[in-house]
Chains A and B, each alone.
Chain A
Amino acid sequence: MSHDMSEEKLPEPHGSHGEVADHGNPFADPGLPAHEPRRTDIDERAAKRAERQVSLMFVISMIATIGFIASYVGIDPDKIVYIFPLGHVSALNFALGLTLGVALFMIGAGAVHWARTLMSDVELPAERHPIEADDEVRADVINQFKTGAAESGFGRRKMIRNTLIGSMALVPLSGVVLLRDLGPLPEKKLQETGWKAATPVKPLQLLNMNTGQPMKAEDVVIGSLTFAMPEDLSTHDEDFQQRIAKDALMLVRIAPEDIKDEESKEKGFEGILAYSKICTHVGCPISLYEQQTHHALCPCHQSTFDLADGARVIFGPAGHPLPQLKITTDEKGFLVAKGDFDEPVGPSFWERAR
């Protein structure tokens, strides 16, 4: 510490700026430096110039606001203009934004310039006071509190205290109970999909997502990727969003000899494999397919599945393979499913078995 040094006199420092306040301590606080006047403080013409500059900025702001109103009234909202280097942009948005920006910015620039050139820049010290109260105040407050507490009898009348605590603890329960109807209980909802309506007696056709038509095996060529949904679903259905979030299928056809997983081959039809399109990580639809390697990649978090190997996870954060729907064909040769997935689709959850 520099303060506990001896009183011995140090020689004058040799530097050119050696103005030493405290001869005993070379590191002593020299105190607030004297104010150095700005040009505008001593030259009235400079001050006048600054005044004009500030006013000019405010005037520019006014003009810009008029420009804003004029653009709002005058420019067709659909008009697109080419502005280098932005490209084709909405003329109205561009004009409104720039005029509003200038109108606001110039008020700020004017105010700051005014403060910096014309208002006093003399630095002043203000005293700080400790945040904590002194002991007298502290003792007084504690005493008041004790008096208040004693007068309430809160500590003495234990029955009042305990019943009050009890009632205060219970009353928020009403609020909690009211939250019950926020949503239904999970029950088996996440365990099954819309494909559960398919039975061996009444199978569900797989509709091509693009055409809305059922597909025959020969429509799905080797190397292709097709998205499909159950025939009892239509994009105009009230619950379409909710159902497609679980029912969406991804159909690939892989030469049977390339399919490494026997169980997977079994569930498919002549090399056509129907996987859930919903990623088992957090539920993004998987949509990138690498034909040669049979890898499917989720664009959200890059989980990568080997569709030739039972959709095994080969990279990324997904925890388990994509569920596969067992498919076959009906008597007319259309691809159908005769039952639901045999495990839940989408992200895993606590009650998910397997």
Chain B
Amino acid sequence: MSSASSTTSGAAKPASTRAKPANKWEAAADWTDGRLGIYSLAKANLRKIFPDHWSFMLGEICLYSFIIIILTGVYLTLFFKPSMGEVIYNGSYVPLKGISMSEAYASTLDISFEVRGGLLIRQIHHWAALVFVAAMLVHMMRVFFTGAFRKPREVNWVFGFLLLVLGMFDGFFGYSLPDDLLSGTGIRFMEGAILAVPLVGTYMQMFLYGGEFPGHDIIPRFFTIHVLLVPGIMLGLLVAHLILVFYHKHTQWAGPGKTEKNVVGMPLMPVYMAKAGGFFFLVFGLIAAISAIASINPIWAYGPYRPDQVSTDAQPDWYMGFSEGLIRVMPGWEISLWGHTLNLGVFVPLMIFPLVLVAIAVYPFIEGWITGDKREHHILDRPRNAPVRTALGAAWISLYLVLLIGGGNDLFATHLHLSINSITYFVRVGFFVVPVITFIVTKRWCLGLQRRDKEKVLHGRETGVIKRLPHGEFVEVHAQLPQKDLFKLTAHEQVQPVELPAQTDENGVARKAGVLTRTRAKLSRGFYGEGAQIPKPTAEEHHEITSGHGHH
């Protein structure tokens, strides 16, 4: 680093090769760089280009609500007592005075009524959690429908998926902590679900709860899981997720000047520092305002948890609604044999729940296997240009929504004056039928949109100008699209289905393709074969039409 300068006279200081800093800020930066190497890091990132599109903000909402949750959560731990020890409430909320309750519930009441601003922070914490999971789901849908999960981003997709699942569960652990009548019901449900696991269910239940339900351990244990274990893992995944976003550089929509080899947009400093940094405050501000005007989880209205009491309309937070739907609509099948009971009515939903999630998690790998595409993809697909993928995604969402209806069957029944039995039967059938219908409708819709794009490219847009021809016929004048639109509408590439390898080798010996190869070819035909996409217009077609009569 330092070069020994001259050997001449006096106090020869070991000098740095670096030029003298212009001011004290540069000097401070030099000092830091000499220890942390910030210049090399900043070189690649300070003016890093990010493309602009509203849908790219969804991930930011996730990040910001996560930060809000951490900030408010730390504040709440200063007052919350994760204990199931019984106390007699003597706070300022009169209706509960003199009632015995757990310390967890009493301290949550104190946060709500005694600590000034405590209720606000509690409500921000809970609202931010709802926004967090919702934003993650929508962000994931954005990535799914635009094909942003393709190589090289499959691993980051999995990180994001894990964040979603962990976020859901941490939400569940979090709203279980106050030990109010509603959250205790959730913990009781969890006990029943665990007991339904064959062979080890009772052991798992005893070990998790420290004995029989409810015991005295579950709230302190959930507290540690909620504030330390899960957020710690999530923080690690989040950092990895963001590092990969920077490393891969952001995807972009097709458009003039945008290729697979570049990224077009504005620099991190100053534009995205201001926009993204500002967006954090917008999200925080909005959630704070919502927490000022909309009450969430008013635990004082539910009362303390008692295993022999329950309120009607008991509902989990929305993101657990689809699992609630599974558990509500599953028929109560139970197999009793040889002194053992297999509770399928609970165990089957318990197994389908992760399957619903995993189905979406593994999709990038399945699609990658079907296409056999090993190239990197940085230009996003318009959903219409990947009809089967879009239809599968829509089918998944429809399944999710059907299950949400099942999870809220009591609310739908009371609010829409429907029979709860009919809703349940509808969901039982809809679970199988609605995704299929959604798949078919979405796929056709996409194909229709592809046809429309083709029409626009070949025949131009309608101008609204009606022209009368010499022989009296009226025609509408179509105007050729500008070059940038022609490019944009034809920029997507169309995957061709993979062919089965020849059934005989060069010597004429039969060589049967394996089951996997055949499945793959079949799937590939389904994804990209005839009827799964509209061939995009070719230059010849365009030439033929435009060279003829000018307009058509």
Contacts and interface: CB of A to CB of B under 8 A. Distances in A.
Interface of A: 1-2, 5, 8, 10-11, 13-21, 25-33, 72, 77-78, 86, 89-90, 92-98, 100-112, 114-116, 119-128, 130-132, 179, 182-186, 189-190, 209, 227, 229, 235-236, 238, 241-242, 244-246, 248, 277-278, 281-285, 287-288, 299-303, 313, 315-320, 346-354
Contacts of A351: 202, 339-341
A65 B217 CA distance: 41
B478 to A, nearest CB: 9
Contacts of B197: 350
B188 A303 contact: no
A128 B51 CA distance: 13
A353 B336 CA distance: 7
Interface stretch (B274-282, B436-444, B445-453): B274-282
Given A112-B279, A114-B274, A10 B340 contact: no
B261 A77 contact: no
A182 B230 CA distance: 19
Could you say which of B346, B479, B481 has the most chain A C-beta atoms within 10 Å of its C-beta? B346
Interface string B506-523: 000000000000000000
A106 B486 CA distance: 41
B120 A281 contact: no
Interface in B249-273: 249, 256-257, 259-267, 270-271
Given A282-B188, A351-B340, 12 more contacts: A5-B538, A17-B483, A86-B293, A96-B117, A104-B288, A105-B285, A184-B206, A282-B327, A283-B307, A317-B332, A349-B201, A350-B197
Interface in B286-315: 286-293, 295, 305-314
Given A5-B538, A318-B345, A347 B288 contact: no
B371 interface: no
B201 A14 contact: no
Contacts of B341: 348-354
Nearest to A26: B542
A17 B463 CA distance: 13
Nearest to A72: B116
B247 to A, nearest CB: 8
Contacts of A354: 336, 341
Give 9 closest A-B pairs by Cβ, nearest first.
A97-B292, A15-B480, A282-B192, A105-B285, A111-B278, A108-B281, A32-B257, A101-B289, A319-B334
20 contacts: A2-B538, A13-B546, A21-B483, A28-B487, A32-B257, A78-B113, A102-B289, A105-B284, A115-B274, A183-B206, A190-B212, A209-B308, A235-B100, A282-B191, A284-B188, A285-B308, A287-B310, A315-B424, A317-B332, A349-B343
A276 to B, nearest CB: 10
A306 B306 CA distance: 25
B383 interface: no
Contacts of B333: 319
B119 interface: yes
B278 A108 contact: yes
B199 A350 contact: yes
Given A18-B480, A109-B282, A112-B279, A302 B271 contact: no
B192 A317 contact: no
Could you say which of B123, B195, B197 has the most chain A C-beta atoms within 10 Å of its C-beta? B195
B209 interface: yes
A346 B192 contact: yes
Contact of B262 (A78, A92, A125, A227): A125
A121 B308 contact: no
B460 interface: yes
Contacts of A241: 214, 305-307
Interface in B494-531: none
A16 B113 CA distance: 68
Contact of B289 (A21, A97, A189): A97
Contacts of B345: 281, 317-319
